[in-house]
Structure 1
Amino acid sequence: MIRKGSARLSPRALRQIHGNLVVGGGVTAAARLQPLRELLLACVVSFRGSMDYARKLFDGIPRPDLFMHNAMVRGYAHAGAPAAAFAVYRRMLEAAPLRPDGFTFCYLLRACAGFPGSCFAGCQVHGAVVKLGFLKDAYVRNALINMLAKCGDLRAACVLLDEAGEEDVVAWSAVIAGHAAKGDIDAARKMFDECQHKDIVCWNVMLGVYAKNGEMEKARELFDCAPEKDVVSWNTIINGYTVQGMLNHALEVFDEMRAAGWEPDEATIVSLLSCCADTGSLDAGSMIHQMHLEWRPWISIVVGNALVSMYAKCGDLHTAIEVFNTMKERDVWTWNSVIGGLTFHGQAEKSVQFFKKMLEERIYPNEISFLCVLGACSHAGLVEDGRKIFYLMKDKYGIEPNARHYSCIADMLGRAGLLNEAFTIVTNMRCKPSAVIWRTLLGACRTNGNMILGKFAREKLLNMNEDASGDYVLLSGIYASSGEWLGVETERRTMDRRGIRKVAGYAQIDRKSAGLSTP
């Protein structure tokens, strides 16, 4: 059962299988090592970057073998945790002890590639590869070339490329991507043109170089010249257009893709839905939703999250919640999309209700969850709820608030007239208060006519070299509301002396969309 569908099993199903193995004695029985290996690998694959459960399973195995160590190194490499990957590697060498194989080095080099501070460790792995004679292994050599290219050591990568030969397209593709990562697109294109044995992967790498750098005309030209295409080729050009906000172009390529007989995958759908969300194109997003249902009657958590986010950002909260309710599996990002959408569109009470329901279902909130719900409490004046959630964030979940969280709580207390409490919280922040926070408090002082605290906030802004015209206007308004006309005159003269002019408000009409927006 594990072998046939381990990558498709849900975390809940994997926990049930683990429980059955424990009850049946499978964790300690040597005869059942193979199911245990497959379960560990399935946990690494299925928990989407979180290695906590896989680590608990691994630590519970008395004598894990090389396959199990490699599975953990692989998981940490894909999760972006190079330090943890090397910790498992050291345990494998010292505690087991086991001799690493080619898979070990491929995963370790993957852990080093592209992560700041890991290039020195990558050089150490390079030495171990040479010492143990794995440089002749094409997979290890290509992983090494990829690591060196991503770490910016293109000279060493090219030396290994010469040893690999012209027919090793994977190595060529890695060096092409390395030149692009350093911003040298011309050098990347030169290497691409010099490659004599280009395969579809090489074409896709060069296509991705242009798309990631926003050079969509060159990307489209290269795409049209490609001798063959796969779903990655189509997704790369579609994603390039969506990142640039060019939804119409992306939809045109999407139509071409279907006309050519290619079935869009989840990456295609998520990319298009994200662009629809960013551009507010509800009609296009709904059309893509219906098309996806025609291809696949079920919705995965990845597509479901994109759909919920798109509908919420476009203001169709009814459909967003409808999709949310039909999803068989939900994670913290699913909940965040609904909570944030309700907050943005003024349904603060419902946003808080969803947040509480998320906690009841034992979904662990992250800092985005708290930012969304605190924003709801701020705009709706839900002071008691806001206080409880703010301290819950620190005391129960151990999440240290950042400047945006403090800005929300300061705005909430300021709107409620609780200026002293707001200033106390801000002055006791662990991080340095930003100009946004002091400006929020200055605005609250203007609303509540508190001249003393308003002057204090203004002084903080001046110390930060913030000379926005709105700050002078706010403090001038505080003086005016208190009848301190001398203070009003002083602020106006200060603005004149520093050459600061009040920015006039204006509205802009976009004739294409017939919409009214205010900057």
Structure 2
Amino acid sequence: MIRKRITDKSSNRHQRSSLWQQCSTLRALKQVHAFMVVSGFNSNPSALRELIYAGAVGIAGTINYAHQVFAHITDPDIFMWNTMIRGSAQSPNPLKSIFYYTQMEKRRMKPDNFTFPFLLKACTKLCWVKMGNEIHGRVVKFGFESNTFVRNTLIYFHANCGDLGVASVLFDGSAKQDVVAWSALTAGYARRGELGVARQLFDEMPVKDMVSWNVMITGYAKRGEMESARKLFDEVPKRDVVTWNAMIAGYVLLGVHEQALEMFEEMRCLGEQPDEVTMLSLLSACADLGDLDVGKKIHTSLLEMCTTNLSVVLGNALIDMYAKCGSIERALEVFQGMKEKDVSTWNSILGGLAFHGHAEESIHLFNKMRRKKVRPNEITFVAVLVSCSHAGKVDEGRRYFAVMRDEYNIEPNIKHYGCMVDMLGRAGLLNEAFEFVGTMQIEPNAIVWRTLLGACGIHGNVELAKHANEQLLKMRRDQSGDYVLLSNLYASQGEWTGVQNVRKLMDDSGVRKEPGCSLIEADNKALMHFLFD
């Protein structure tokens, strides 16, 4: 079967489609390549074109293998070069497409009208304005500026990150008859935040395609103008998953999570299938709401959608959702079931364990992460230091703080310093905590001083509390909680003059103590119960 496909004398298009449509995995592609080598087809140009097309474009996740194969082709033709440029532009590393073009020039391979559109898309993804302008110069040099496909990608590049004036000039004339050109220019103005101009273009469009509708709905949603977004959403002749995603993401961005979930239910009822972007937005909504029941339902929907393993991004979002909804056990189940993990995966579970009080487990998992040679980042060490603080492991905390700097060359930020101050304060090492603040390489913020003030309150150290409060009041004087901490400390020590002084300071500063409150849910309605002094 493989031999027949490779030796088929039909068109190149038929050859390309026949191979990549029947090869759906990297393993299958490698088998075909091995057959080509042993059968002598490795030097057959048609077979090589098909192999490169399958690896670079046809099969998801095989671009790296295509790079390896292409590197061993001694005399690639223009189709192979264009395919590698196209595949690289669409990959997570679009820089490679620029590399291939420079290699083409060095080998004096003349580009054609298929070369430049993908190069321009790569420049847009990278926001490489200078390189994009240079590519535009090459387009003019080789006489492709009038080509519809090239012209539209030039408009797209300049509208999104280049010169809007150039995009408008390119748009004038014959481009006004092309719906793709209208959409490209409209998208550029919308993505740059100039929704007024984008809307004017949108309203003037002789024919509105799906892209232009989605661009405008997304533009309004990102700006939080959900009424305008909803109006267009209700008017759009036909919706696709991008349309629904724009609305759901917009509601999540505004914090109107219930509306986002309702939109999802409406989407499913109308038969539209969600994608990964949809589910990421919904998981974010559940995490912010703390709604475990809905989160479980979304997890079930994900398992029904994905015939293979969940992607790393979705797995990370599930861990984060379960941890924030209070189910660290389910977060661990997702973590342990993931075949592929990145540093964010580890960070999500380490942070979840730390903030749920499972400090020992978090530290143990961090050591396992290091044994597996996964390089931690600054977020990882925040979780580790929080764990050490909550577990009272001061010596380990000091050691990991040093490891962060000395072994991984990560400079501490204010969160790391805050964790160390909290750890020392919880352990009652107040003098060391104050000395540590004095050695910080960055200016301590109000949170650091508030942490010290709280620790002094717990351990009854009035003198150090006064010092922390003085520093805190230099930064802010409008937070009633800062005054209450010091007042309560004075009261616990029986220093009633100090209590009166703090209350007078509050009055002089015009600060009022906020009433305490609790939130309960009854009949699916949130009820606020206030506790006044």
The Cα offsets for residues 186-207 of structure 1, whole Å up to 9 and x where unpaired, read as 3322211211122222222122
Distance (Å, rounded) in 1 between the aligned partners of 2:55 and 2:408: 28
* CA separation of 1:473 and 1:245: change in aligned 2, threshold 3 A: closer
Q: What residue in structure 1 maps to residue 136 of structure 2?
A: 126
Q: What residue in structure 2 maps to residue 272 of structure 1?
A: 282
Alignment of 1:407-446 (within 5 A): 407-446=418-457
Q: 1:93 offset after TM fit, Å?
A: 7.9
Give, as a single letter, the amino acid of the residue that structure 1 aligns with 2:302: H
8 A contact 2:335–2:345 mirrored in 1:
yes
Q: What residue in structure 2 maps to residue 183 of structure 1?
A: 193
Q: What residue in structure 1 maps to residue 10 of structure 2?
A: none
Alignment of 1:437-456 (within 5 A): 437-450=448-461, 453-456=464-467
* CA separation of 1:205 and 1:496: change in aligned 2, threshold 3 A: closer
- Of the three residues 151, 161, 177, the one matched with 1:151 is 161
Q: 1:268 offset after TM fit, Å?
A: 2.1
Give, as a single letter, the amino acid of the residue that structure 2 aligns with 1:362: K
The Cα offsets for residues 117-154 of structure 1, whole Å up to 9 and x where unpaired, read as x5455444434433343423434333332232223743
Could you say what the CA RMSD is over the residues aligned between the two structures, in angstroms? 4.5
Q: Which moved more, 1:452-461 or 1:295-304?
A: 452-461
Q: 1:408 offset after TM fit, Å?
A: 0.9
Alignment of 1:115-514 (within 5 A): 118-151=128-161, 153-301=163-311, 302-450=313-461, 453-464=464-475, 468-474=479-485, 494-508=505-519, 512-514=524-526
Q: Which moved more, 1:282-291 or 1:414-423?
A: 414-423
Give, as a single letter, the amino acid of the residue that structure 2 aligns with 1:383: V
Gaps of 5+ in 2: 3-15
Q: 1:34 offset after TM fit, Å?
A: 7.3
Distance (Å, rounded) in 1 between the aligned partners of 2:74 and 2:397: 49
Q: 1:33 offset after TM fit, Å?
A: 8.3
Give, as a single letter, the amino acid of the residue that structure 1 aligns with 2:270: A
The Cα offsets for residues 406-427 of structure 1, whole Å up to 9 and x where unpaired, read as 1111111121122343334433
Give, as a single letter, the amino acid of the residue that structure 2 aligns with 1:376: S
Distance (Å, rounded) in 2 between the aligned partners of 1:480 and 1:6: 78
Distance (Å, rounded) in 2 between the aligned partners of 1:420 and 1:99: 72
Larger radius of gyration: 2
Q: 1:403 offset after TM fit, Å?
A: 0.9
8 A contact 1:179–1:188 mirrored in 2:
yes
* CA separation of 1:164 and 1:256: change in aligned 2, threshold 3 A: farther
Distance (Å, rounded) in 1 between the aligned partners of 2:361 and 2:97: 42
Give, as a single letter, the amino acid of the residue that structure 2 aligns with 1:234: W
Distance (Å, rounded) in 1 between the aligned partners of 2:453 and 2:504: 20
Q: 1:58 offset after TM fit, Å?
A: 11
8 A contact 2:252–2:281 mirrored in 1:
yes
* CA separation of 1:134 and 1:439: change in aligned 2, threshold 3 A: farther
Count of aligned positions: 503
8 A contact 1:446–1:474 mirrored in 2:
yes
Distance (Å, rounded) in 2 between the aligned partners of 1:242 and 1:280: 13
The Cα offsets for residues 394-451 of structure 1, whole Å up to 9 and x where unpaired, read as 2222222211111111111121122343334433333332221232223333434555
Distance (Å, rounded) in 2 between the aligned partners of 1:492 and 1:146: 62
Give, as a single letter, the amino acid of the residue that structure 2 aligns with 1:145: I
Distance (Å, rounded) in 2 between the aligned partners of 1:373 and 1:6: 47
The Cα offsets for residues 275-333 of structure 1, whole Å up to 9 and x where unpaired, read as 11111111111112223323435432232222222111111122221222222222222
The Cα offsets for residues 249-282 of structure 1, whole Å up to 9 and x where unpaired, read as 3344333433433332222222222211111111
Distance (Å, rounded) in 2 between the aligned partners of 1:64 and 1:6: 27
Distance (Å, rounded) in 2 between the aligned partners of 1:111 and 1:330: 27
Gaps of 5+ in 1: none
Q: 1:516 offset after TM fit, Å?
A: 6.7
- Sequence identity (%): 46
8 A contact 1:374–1:409 mirrored in 2:
yes
TM-score norm. by structure 1 comes to 0.78
Distance (Å, rounded) in 2 between the aligned partners of 1:423 and 1:63: 66
* CA separation of 1:140 and 1:446: change in aligned 2, threshold 3 A: farther
Distance (Å, rounded) in 2 between the aligned partners of 1:306 and 1:38: 33
8 A contact 1:6–1:39 mirrored in 2:
no
* CA separation of 1:421 and 1:154: change in aligned 2, threshold 3 A: same
* CA separation of 1:410 and 1:192: change in aligned 2, threshold 3 A: same
For 1:362, what is the secondary structure of its paired residue?
Answer: coil
Distance (Å, rounded) in 2 between the aligned partners of 1:418 and 1:322: 37
* CA separation of 1:298 and 1:69: change in aligned 2, threshold 3 A: closer
Q: Which moved more, 1:318-327 or 1:226-235?
A: 226-235
Distance (Å, rounded) in 2 between the aligned partners of 1:466 and 1:348: 35
* CA separation of 1:70 and 1:414: change in aligned 2, threshold 3 A: farther
Give, as a single letter, the amino acid of the residue that structure 2 aligns with 1:235: N
Distance (Å, rounded) in 1 between the aligned partners of 2:176 and 2:432: 69
The Cα offsets for residues 81-133 of structure 1, whole Å up to 9 and x where unpaired, read as 97x987x48964886676666666545544554877x5455444434433343
TM-score norm. by structure 2 comes to 0.76
